[in-house]
Amino acid sequence: MATGRTHRPATRSRGIPEATVARLPLYLRALTALSERSVPTVSSEELAAAAGVNSAKLRKDFSYLGSYGTRGVGYDVEYLVYQISRELGLTQDWPVVIVGIGNLGAALANYGGFASRGFRVAALIDADPSMAGKPVAGIPVQHTDDLEKIIDDNGVSIGVIATPAGAAQQVCERLVAAGVTSILNFAPTVLSVPDGVDVRKVDLSIELQILAFHEQRKAGEEAEAQAGAVLEAEAAAAAAKETGKGPDGDVPAVMPA
Amino acid sequence: MATGRTHRPATRSRGIPEATVARLPLYLRALTALSERSVPTVSSEELAAAAGVNSAKLRKDFSYLGSYGTRGVGYDVEYLVYQISRELGLTQDWPVVIVGIGNLGAALANYGGFASRGFRVAALIDADPSMAGKPVAGIPVQHTDDLEKIIDDNGVSIGVIATPAGAAQQVCERLVAAGVTSILNFAPTVLSVPDGVDVRKVDLSIELQILAFHEQRKAGEEAEAQAGAVLEAEAAAAAAKETGKGPDGDVPAVMPA
DNA sequence: ACATGTGAACAGATTCACAGCT
DNA sequence: AGCTGTGAATCTGTTCACATGT
């Protein structure tokens, strides 16, 4: 189990590094903005600045796609937009279903960037019968019972899970069984899926925790001006604070070696 | 990348790799679940499975924090929860403001995972005067005019931007000028900030595009496996060498700017 | 003259495999 | 015997610097 290895026939597909793939949408966005301003060409330096990366990285990234630039000149904006779109598979239409139409699901359904680029919200699905038929973002919500039929009728291969954590794995399994092979998971839980299914997760709480870590570190550096090496001694004392969960007030402070 | 502030001396080797920091919240969530079920100890193998990573990685990650396990036994759940919480800075309270109370902002305000761990929504801010005073998730929305005062009064150092793309940079600058040093950006735009300010971004549209890329690749592989069929345009130009890269679902959803 | 494209050096993250402790 | 903790090997991604082509 676990995410395991990547058995894959090994072959096919140009070997575009995952990190590069993750940046292509960024470049595409910057290029689209240039295109709208009718800018004909752009240098790696300029485009990199607009996308928030450095130019060497950008050139390396593009080199995986092919030689789409002109030395001494730069890149043709329109041409690059097309090439990247094609590489990302955005020249085709991707019907998407959103499962779980709570606050977040509704926000996603209303999200403009959705439709703008290749993606089309094919259906909204929720387990609450009282939601059925109610339009959200102009699309009537359908009941979970019909999930399989909806997936099938619309040829959906990408699903978005915006349900509570408790329902996510079950919804995931039904989506996969119905033929979905890519899932964007907003529920704060680890989904387990069979080989060949892609899952990406977006987790607000995790992002905030990462920020908190750095924030704390900044504060610590300031204090370093005077205080010397701080040992873990205070940890035990502080452990008696709250970690607050459950009826018991205080939390253990087990000391290992 | 997220920080850039390397702080020369490196007094105590508090050099926890960024990739490890990004996984700590994952471990913490799994541990919290175990804690709620009163599980006293857990092995790296079990915990790794629950967090969706492999056990070697988990042990390596924990080794950066210190030696918190017991050989032959495993890790004490409560103790680890405390240590990770402390490392992430979650033993203190982080007041957070959300700017831009549209669909998404409202969803964020209502998001339970927010309050659950260290974070507290101190204020909601929106530019629309007609929203002022209207409660969202029990918190009255305040007008952008008062942004600086709100940040200051509440000692806010973490801000969430959920405005339209066009307003994001300006909001960002005001937040930073008012003292915010960590920003979680949901607007589909690149924010530029001074040194010392952390930005993380969450971008739905980018996530979907990455999924589309892999989805397209799957379709391409099928087609190639069956026959020499071409899927859409000319695949002639390709034919370079390949390195079959497995998709493997879990790449950090977001990268620091 | 100028900006791309890329081999090579470097840096960071993951995995392996086993020594060391309980 | 079992599981952690970690050096070493490997893999992936980034940066450098310059050869290459227009």
Task: Express each pLDDT in A37-60 by its tens digit.
Answer: 999 999 999 999 999 999 999 999
| CA–CA min distance A134, chain B (Å) | 17
Same domain assignment for residues A198 and A212? no
Per-residue pLDDT reduced to its tens digit, A233-248? 343 333 333 333 333 3
Do residues A99 and A143 share a domain?
yes
Write the residue in A5, A184, A217 that is nearest to B211 by C-beta: A184
Q: How far is CA A224 from the centre of its chain?
A: 36
Q: How close does chain A come to B244, measured CA to CA in Å? A: 4
Total tally of structural domains belonging to chain A? 3
Residues A179 and A83 in one domain: no
What percent of chain A is modeled with pLDDT above 90? 75
pLDDT mean over B118-124: 96
B71 touches strand C (CB under 7 A): yes
With an 8 Å Cβ cutoff, are A204 and B111 in contact?
yes
Same domain, A24 and A123: no
**A198 chain-B contacts, CB cut-off 8 A:** 211, 214-215, 247, 249
Whether residue A256 is contained in a domain is answered as no
CA gap A183, B249 in Å, rounded: 9
In a domain, B251, yes or no: no
B221 and B192: one domain?
Answer: no
- Partners of B195 on chain A (C-beta within 8 Å) are none
Mean pLDDT taken over chain A: 85
Per-residue pLDDT, averaged over A78-93, amounts to 97
Query: In sequence order, what are the beta bridge partners of B136?
Result: B139
Q: Which of A12, A192, A204 sits opposite B220 (nearest CB)?
A: A12
Do residue A190 and residue A111 come from a single domain? yes
pLDDT band at B113 (very low <50, low <70, confident <90, very high): confident
Distance CA B126, CA B105 (A): 9
pTM of the model: 0.85
Average pLDDT, chain B: 85
Q: Is the CB of A15 within 7 Å of strand C?
A: no
Task: Give the pLDDT band (50/70/90) at residue A62.
Answer: very high
Per-residue pLDDT at A214 exceeds 60: yes
> What angle in degrees, to the nearest 10, is found between the helix axes of B18-36 and B77-88?
140
On whether both B33 and B102 belong to a single domain, the answer is: no
Same domain assignment for residues A141 and A60: no
Angle at B240 between CA B235 and CA B243, to 5 degrees: 110
Q: Which of A109-113, A186-190, A217-221 has the lowest mean pLDDT?
A: A217-221
Residue A252 pLDDT grade (very low, low, confident, very high; cuts 50, 70, 90): very low
For residue B220, the model assigns a pLDDT of: 74
- Asked whether residue A68 falls in the same domain as residue A163, the answer is no
Please report how many Cα atoms fall inside a 13 Å half-sphere around the Cα of residue A140, on the Cβ side: 7
- Could you tell me if residue A215 is inside a domain? yes
Shared-domain flag, residues B101 and B179 = yes
Q: For residues B190 and B234, state if they share a domain.
A: no
Domain interval for residue A60: 18-87
Q: Which pLDDT belongs to residue B230? A: 40
Question: Can you tell me the mean pLDDT for B172-182?
Answer: 98
Residues A142/A125, Cβ–Cβ less than 8 Å? yes
Determine, yes or no, domain membership for B193.
yes
- From the Cβ of B20, is strand C under 7 Å away? yes
